[in-house]
C-alpha cells in the first residue's frame, strides 16, 4: 500500500516535467523558426543590401577621369585639349588612426599647394572622413613635390589621384566661340557647353580590397579596373589664320577709335561655314574667371564687398558674352543691300530708274522731314549711284515703292524674324523687335517703312546680317550658319557630320549678280562710300553702315553710334563675306562713320583671308601707274648677284656688313613694296636687327608718309582709299608713333579721304 501510495504521489511531478519538456521543445522550435526567418531575411530578402554593405566595407573605389575630346580648327590646329592633372586630398581618418603630425602636414601642403594651412587643419577635424579635397588639377611638378613630402615623412593620410585638365593653346583666340569648362570638367560656355555631352566622355574606376577599417590591402592582387571612355573630338569650320586676321583688325580698330565693343565675322557665303568670329570682349580661356587689369582696377575702387562681388560677376558675364550672337543693333545703311535686292527682284525698280535727293523729303505719317546724311542732297541718281552715295532719301523712296506687305515678307524671307540656328549658345531673338504687320503696313503712316528701308529704328543681330548678305552674294540662297563640321568618337567613327543647309531661296541668280556688281562699285568707284575697303588686286563689294542707338538716345539723351561695314569677295565670284561692327566709337579726332572706321578693316580682313586661302590678287599695277614689286629672296646669294637682281627690279638697296654673301634682308621675301623702295641687305659681320623710332603718320599724305617711313628705314603697306587720290591722308597706322621697331618693318597704314565726311 505504501508503495502504491508513493507512486500516486509521483504523478504530479512527472506531469510537470512533461509539460516543461514540451514547452522547451516548442520554444526551441519557435526560436529556430525565428532564426530561420532571420536567416531568410538576411540571406534572401536583404541579400543585396548586406552584400552591398560588405563590398563597401571591404573595397575602395577610385574614379578614373575621362579626357574631354579635343577641339580642332578646320586645318587640324588644336584649339582645346585635355591632359593629365592631379587632385590632392587628405584622409582625416587615416591621419588620426596613424597618429600623423597634423601641423606638419598642414604646413607643408600649404607651402606646396599655396593653400591656407588653417583650412587644412579645419578639414582634419572630421576624423570619420576618408576624403577631403585640398587642391584640384595641379600640374605634375606640384604633385611630385607632394609625393616627395609623403615619402620623406612616411605620410599615409595624404593622397594624390589622377584627373584631367583643359588647356587652350591659343589662349584668347576665339574665346567667345570655344568657351571653357568648370572644375568638374563640365562645359560652361561656348562650344564646350553646347557640345558637352559629346566632349565629356565617361569616367572609369579602380576597385581595391580594404580592411574592415577601410585601409587598402596592398599585399593582395585584387584590383578591378573599369576603363574610362574619352570624349569625342570636334572639328570646326573656324580657321586659325583667318580668325587671327579678324582679331588683329578688330583689336586695332577698337584701340584706334576707343570703341566700347565690337565684332568681326567671316563666313563662307556658299556653305554658311563660319571661318572666323571675333569679339572685342575676349578673355584668356586658360583663366576665364580673371578680368582685365583695367576692369580689376575699377573693381578695387568699390569699397562695399557685396557691391564689388556683384560688379565682378557682371564683368565676367560681360567678357564671356558673344556680341556677334547675343546682342542686337540697328544695322543702318548695310540694310540697304536687302532693300535694293527685294526691289530689283520684284521688278519694282531697274537700273535705269532715277531717284532725286534734295537732302530732305516728306513722308506720310511723319511729323518731321526725313533727312539724308548729306544735307545738300545728292540730286538725281540711279540705283547704282544711290548705293554708292548711300542716299537715305533714295532708299526711302524705293522702300515705299516696294510697299509694306511685300517689304514685310522679304524681311521674314531673309531671316530677320527668326534665329539663324547657329550652333552657339545665347543667340538673341529679334522677332519681338519688329513692328506688328498692322502698324508697319499702315498705308496712312509710311514712317516705319521709310526708316526701315535704310536700316533704322529696328534691331537685328550681327549673325543675321552676315547670313542675309551672304544670301545676296551667293546667288540667292539663305544658308544656315554653323561652326562644328564633324564629331569623331575615340575609335575614329564619325558620329556627326554637318552638311551645308539651304534654308530657302530668297532672290534669283540674276538679281544676285546685279546687286554684286552695284556693291562692287560702292568700293571700287571714287564716289563710293565704301572705297576705303578697296585693296588693289581684289574685287571687293560691300556697304557701309552708320546709325545712332535710337532707343538709348530717347531714354537717356546720350547719342551713341554703331558703325559697320559688310563686304564680300571676290565680287565677281564670291567666296567669303565679312561683317565688321564697332559699338560706340568715342575717338573725337576721327569722323564717326562706317566708311572711315569699319570699311578699311574689312578690306584688310578679306584680302588677307583670301591670301591665306590661296586666292592671289589679280593686279600688279595700282591706279597711280607705279608698279608694286614683290621682294625677291636674296639670302644665300652673293652680294654682287643680289645687287644685280634689285637693280633689275628698280629697287634701291643699302648694304650692311663687310661680307660678300647675303645673310639676311629687310623686308622679308614676298612683301610688296613700291618701285624705288630701299631694301636692306645684310652680309657677314652685320647686325641683323637695327631699331628705329616709328614716326607719327596721322594726317600725312601718301607721299609724306612714304618719305617719313623711308627716312626711318621702314616700308608702307596701304589699305583703304586709293593712293592715287591726292586728297587722301593717313588715318591710322599699325605701329604707334614713338615706338621702337626693327628697321625694315612693313607698316600698315589706312588711307581716308577727309572730304567724305558724311555719316553713312
Which residues fall within 8 angstroms of residue 268, CB to CB, at 6 or more apart?
Answer: 237, 275, 575, 576
**Position 452 in a domain:** yes
Instruction: Give the Cα separation of 342 and 511 in Å (integer).
Output: 9
Q: How many domains does the chain have?
A: 4
Same-domain pairing of 674 and 708:
no
101: which 3 cell numbers? 603630425
Please tell me the least confidently modeled range out of 166-170, 417-421, 745-749.
745-749
Q: Which residues are catalytic?
A: 333
Q: Which residues pair with 565 in a beta bridge?
A: 544, 580
Instruction: Give the Cα separation of 288 and 340 in Å (integer).
Output: 43
The pLDDT, as a whole number, for residue 704 is 86
Angle of the 404-413 helix axis to the 336-345 helix axis, nearest 10: 110
- Express each pLDDT in 522-569 by its tens digit: 999 988 999 889 888 899 999 999 998 877 877 888 889 999 999 999
DSSP string, 321-355: --HHHH--B--GGGGHHHHHHHHHHTTSS-TT-EE
The pLDDT, as a whole number, for residue 471 is 98
- Most confidently modeled of 86-95, 127-136, 351-360, 732-741? 351-360
**Position 307 in a domain:** no
The pLDDT, as a whole number, for residue 222 is 47
The pLDDT, as a whole number, for residue 299 is 92
Average pLDDT of the chain is 86
70: which 3 cell numbers? 579635343
Same-domain pairing of 424 and 546:
yes
Please tell me the least confidently modeled range out of 331-335, 459-463, 609-613.
609-613
- Given a cut of 70, whether residue 506 has pLDDT beyond it is yes
- Given a cut of 80, whether residue 220 has pLDDT beyond it is no
The pLDDT, as a whole number, for residue 105 is 92
- Given a cut of 90, whether residue 473 has pLDDT beyond it is yes
Q: Which of 234, 253, 276 is the last residue of a domain?
A: 234
Give the number of other CB atoms < 10 A from CB of residue 624: 14
Instruction: Give the Cα separation of 482 and 606 in Å (integer).
Output: 20
Same-domain pairing of 650 and 630:
yes
The pLDDT, as a whole number, for residue 206 is 60
Sole residue written with cell 531673309: 414
- Taking CA atoms, 507 is separated from 106, 427, 750, in Å, by 71, 26, 35
The pLDDT, as a whole number, for residue 41 is 62
The pLDDT, as a whole number, for residue 625 is 43
pLDDT band for position 31 (cuts 50, 70, 90):
low
- CB 158, CB 168: distance < 8 Å: no
Same-domain pairing of 679 and 741:
no
The pLDDT, as a whole number, for residue 33 is 65
pLDDT band for position 722 (cuts 50, 70, 90):
low
- Express each pLDDT in 362-402 by its tens digit: 999 999 999 998 889 999 999 999 999 999 999 999 999 99
Q: Which of 579, 612, 645 is the last residue of a domain?
A: 612
The residue-averaged pLDDT of 155-167 equals 87
- Given a cut of 70, whether residue 11 has pLDDT beyond it is no
**Position 295 in a domain:** no
For 756, the 3-state DSSP assignment is coil
The residue-averaged pLDDT of 301-323 equals 93
The residue-averaged pLDDT of 659-685 equals 79
Same-domain pairing of 367 and 493:
yes
Give the number of other CB atoms < 10 A from CB of residue 547: 22
- Given a cut of 60, whether residue 12 has pLDDT beyond it is no
- CB 539, CB 572: distance < 8 Å: yes
494: which 3 cell numbers? 564619325
The residue-averaged pLDDT of 187-206 equals 89
Cα angle: 676, vertex 681, 684; to 5 degrees: 165
Same-domain pairing of 159 and 84:
yes
CATH number at residue 131: 3.90.1310.10
The pLDDT, as a whole number, for residue 362 is 95
Residue scoring higher pLDDT (729 or 755): 729
Same-domain pairing of 681 and 759:
no
Same-domain pairing of 739 and 651:
no
Please tell me the least confidently modeled range out of 45-59, 339-353, 585-599, 617-631.
45-59
In the chain, the percentage of residues whose pLDDT exceeds 90 is 52
- Given a cut of 90, whether residue 719 has pLDDT beyond it is no
- Given a cut of 90, whether residue 336 has pLDDT beyond it is yes
CATH number at residue 465: 3.40.710.10
**Position 521 in a domain:** yes
- Express each pLDDT in 688-715 by its tens digit: 567 889 898 888 888 888 888 888 888 8
Q: For residue 176, give its domain range.
A: 61-234
The residue-averaged pLDDT of 34-63 equals 58
The pLDDT, as a whole number, for residue 698 is 81
253: which 3 cell numbers? 580698330
In the chain, the percentage of residues whose pLDDT exceeds 70 is 86
Same-domain pairing of 608 and 699:
no
**Position 574 in a domain:** yes
pLDDT band for position 472 (cuts 50, 70, 90):
very high
- Taking CA atoms, 731 is separated from 373, 532, 587, 646, 723, in Å, by 22, 11, 12, 32, 13
Q: Between β-strands 71-72 and 223-226, what pairing exists: parallel, antiparallel or unpaired?
A: unpaired
The pLDDT, as a whole number, for residue 219 is 42
- Express each pLDDT in 162-178 by its tens digit: 788 899 999 999 999 99
- CB 370, CB 457: distance < 8 Å: no
Same-domain pairing of 403 and 416:
yes
For 202, how many CA atoms within 13 A lie in the half-sphere containing its CB? 5
Same-domain pairing of 415 and 437:
yes
The pLDDT, as a whole number, for residue 457 is 87
Q: Which of 174, 200, 234 is the last residue of a domain?
A: 234
**Position 72 in a domain:** yes
pLDDT band for position 758 (cuts 50, 70, 90):
very low
Please tell me the least confidently modeled range out of 19-28, 345-354, 605-614, 735-744.
19-28
**Position 300 in a domain:** no
Same-domain pairing of 572 and 647:
no
- Given a cut of 50, whether residue 517 has pLDDT beyond it is yes
The pLDDT, as a whole number, for residue 3 is 46
CATH number at residue 650: 3.30.10.20
**Position 446 in a domain:** yes
Amino acid at each position: 500500500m505504501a508503495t502504491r501510495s508513493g507512486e500516486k504521489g509521483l504523478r504530479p511531478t512527472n506531469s510537470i516535467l512533461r509539460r516543461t519538456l514540451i514547452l522547451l521543445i516548442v520554444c526551441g522550435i519557435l526560436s529556430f523558426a525565428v532564426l530561420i526567418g532571420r536567416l531568410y531575411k538576411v540571406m534572401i530578402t536583404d541579400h543585396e543590401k548586406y552584400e552591398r554593405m560588405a563590398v563597401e566595407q571591404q573595397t575602395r573605389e577610385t574614379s578614373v577621369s575621362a579626357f574631354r575630346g579635343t577641339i580642332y580648327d578646320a586645318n587640324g590646329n588644336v584649339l582645346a585639349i585635355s591632359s593629365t592633372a592631379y587632385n590632392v586630398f587628405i584622409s582625416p581618418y587615416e591621419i588620426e588612426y596613424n597618429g600623423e603630425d597634423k601641423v606638419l602636414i598642414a604646413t607643408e601642403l600649404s607651402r606646396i599647394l599655396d593653400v591656407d594651412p588653417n583650412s587644412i587643419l579645419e578639414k582634419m577635424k572630421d576624423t570619420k572622413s576618408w576624403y577631403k579635397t585640398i587642391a584640384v588639377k595641379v600640374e605634375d611638378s606640384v604633385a611630385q613635390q607632394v609625393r616627395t613630402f609623403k615619402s620623406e615623412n612616411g605620410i599615409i593620410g595624404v593622397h594624390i589621384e589622377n584627373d584631367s585638365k583643359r588647356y587652350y593653346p591659343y589662349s584668347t583666340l576665339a574665346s567667345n566661340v570655344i568657351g571653357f569648362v568648370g572644375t568638374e570638367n563640365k562645359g560652361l560656355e561656348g562650344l564646350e557647353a553646347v557640345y558637352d555631352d559629346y566632349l565629356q566622355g565617361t569616367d572609369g574606376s579602380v576597385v581595391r580590397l580594404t580592411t574592415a577599417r577601410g585601409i587598402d590591402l596592398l599585399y593582395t592582387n585584387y584590383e578591378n579596373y573599369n576603363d574610362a571612355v574619352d570624349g569625342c573630338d570636334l572639328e570646326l569650320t573656324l580657321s586659325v589664320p583667318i580668325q587671327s586676321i579678324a582679331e588683329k583688325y578688330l583689336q586695332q580698330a577698337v584701340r584706334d577709335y576707343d570703341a566700347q565693343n565690337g565684332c568681326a565675322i567671316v563666313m563662307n557665303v556658299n556653305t554658311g561655314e563660319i571661318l572666323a568670329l571675333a569679339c572685342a570682349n575676349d578673355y584668356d580661356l586658360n583663366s576665364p574667371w580673371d578680368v582685365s587689369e583695367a576692369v580689376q582696377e575699377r573693381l578695387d575702387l568699390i569699397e562695399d564687398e557685396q557691391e564689388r562681388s556683384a560688379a565682378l560677376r557682371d564683368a565676367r558675364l560681360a567678357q564671356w558674352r558673344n556680341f556677334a550672337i547675343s546682342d542686337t543693333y540697328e544695322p543702318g545703311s548695310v540694310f540697304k543691300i536687302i532693300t535694293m535686292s527685294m526691289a530689283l527682284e520684284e521688278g519694282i525698280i531697274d537700273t535705269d530708274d532715277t531717284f532725286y535727293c534734295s537732302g530732305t523729303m516728306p513722308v506720310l505719317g511723319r511729323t518731321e522731314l526725313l533727312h539724308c546724311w548729306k544735307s545738300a542732297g545728292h540730286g538725281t541718281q540711279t540705283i547704282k549711284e544711290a548705293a554708292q552715295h548711300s542716299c537715305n532719301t533714295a532708299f526711302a523712296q524705293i522702300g515705299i515703292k516696294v510697299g509694306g506687305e511685300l517689304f514685310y515678307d522679304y524681311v521674314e524671307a531673309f531671316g530677320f524674324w527668326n534665329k539663324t540656328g547657329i550652333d552657339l549658345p545665347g543667340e538673341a531673338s529679334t522677332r519681338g523687335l519688329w513692328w506688328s504687320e498692322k502698324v508697319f503696313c499702315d498705308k496712312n503712316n509710311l514712317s516705319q517703312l521709310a526708316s526701315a528701308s535704310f536700316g533704322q529704328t529696328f534691331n537685328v543681330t550681327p549673325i543675321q546680317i552676315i547670313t542675309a548678305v551672304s544670301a545676296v552674294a551667293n546667288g540667292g540662297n539663305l544658308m544656315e550658319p554653323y561652326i562644328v563640321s564633324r564629331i569623331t568618337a575615340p575609335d575614329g567613327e564619325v558620329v556627326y557630320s554637318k552638311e551645308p543647309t539651304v534654308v530657302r531661296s530668297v532672290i534669283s541668280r540674276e538679281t544676285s549678280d546685279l546687286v554684286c556688281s552695284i556693291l562692287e562699285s560702292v568700293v571700287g568707284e571714287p564716289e563710293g562710300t565704301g572705297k576705303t575697303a578697296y585693296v588693289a588686286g581684289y574685287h571687293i563689294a560691300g556697304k557701309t553702315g552708320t546709325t545712332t542707338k535710337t532707343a538709348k538716345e530717347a531714354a537717356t539723351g546720350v547719342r551713341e553710334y554703331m558703325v559697320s561695314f559688310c563686304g564680300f569677295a571676290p565680287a565677281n565670284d564670291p567666296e567669303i563675306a565679312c561683317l565688321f561692327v564697332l559699338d560706340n566709337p568715342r575717338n573725337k579726332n576721327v569722323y564717326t562713320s562706317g566708311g572711315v572706321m569699319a570699311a578699311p578693316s574689312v578690306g584688310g580682313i578679306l584680302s588677307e583671308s583670301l591670301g591665306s586661302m590661296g586666292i592671289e590678287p589679280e593686279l600688279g599695277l595700282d591706279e597711280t601707274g607705279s608698279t608694286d614689286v614683290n621682294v625677291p629672296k636674296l639670302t644665300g646669294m652673293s652680294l654682287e648677284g643680289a645687287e644685280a637682281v634689285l637693280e633689275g627690279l628698280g629697287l634701291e638697296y643699302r648694304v650692311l656688313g663687310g661680307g660678300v654673301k647675303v645673310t639676311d634682308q629687310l623686308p622679308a621675301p614676298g612683301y610688296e613694296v613700291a618701285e624705288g623702295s630701299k631694301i636692306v641687305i645684310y652680309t657677314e659681320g652685320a647686325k641683323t636687327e637695327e631699331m628705329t623710332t616709328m614716326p607719327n603718320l596721322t594726317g600725312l599724305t601718301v607721299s609724306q608718309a612714304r618719305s617719313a617711313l623711308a627716312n626711318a628705314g621702314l616700308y608702307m603697306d596701304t589699305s583703304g582709299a586709293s593712293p592715287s587720290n591726292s586728297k587722301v591722308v593717313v588715318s591710322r597706322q599699325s605701329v604707334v608713333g614713338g615706338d621702337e621697331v626693327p628697321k625694315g618693318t612693313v607698316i600698315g597704314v589706312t588711307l581716308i579721304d577727309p572730304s567724305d565726311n558724311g555719316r553713312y
